[in-house]
Amino acid sequence: MPDTDESGAIHMACRILDHVRNLNILHEKSSVEDRVTISLGLTSDKSGKEDHETLIRDADIALIRAKSKGKNRYEVFSPQ
């Protein structure tokens, strides 16, 4: 989301998670949840110098962390 800082991205992620939860879509084939859920990976470019590939890589790392922590959540990328 261009021109969105980390707190704005977190706010939007929470809204998206709530919206999907409120849709209450049945997920019969899932062994994890009986309803559709989502996980989100967030990153931001505070310096304004990151290339698209780096941002996508960092968001993907955050997504993997979100899924490993139980799914149906968001994680913000932080280098470790």
Beta bridge partners of 42: 76
> pTM of the predicted model, to two decimals?
0.86
Range of the domain at 58: 6-76
* Sequence-separated (6 or more) residues with CB below 8 Å from residue 11: none
Q: How confident is the model at residue 4 (pLDDT cuts 50, 70, 90)?
A: confident
Note the pLDDT of residue 3: 78
Amino acid at 27: H
- The reply to whether 1 falls in a domain is no
pLDDT digit string, tens, across residues 22-62: 999 999 988 888 999 999 999 988 777 888 999 999 999 99
Domains of the chain: total = 1
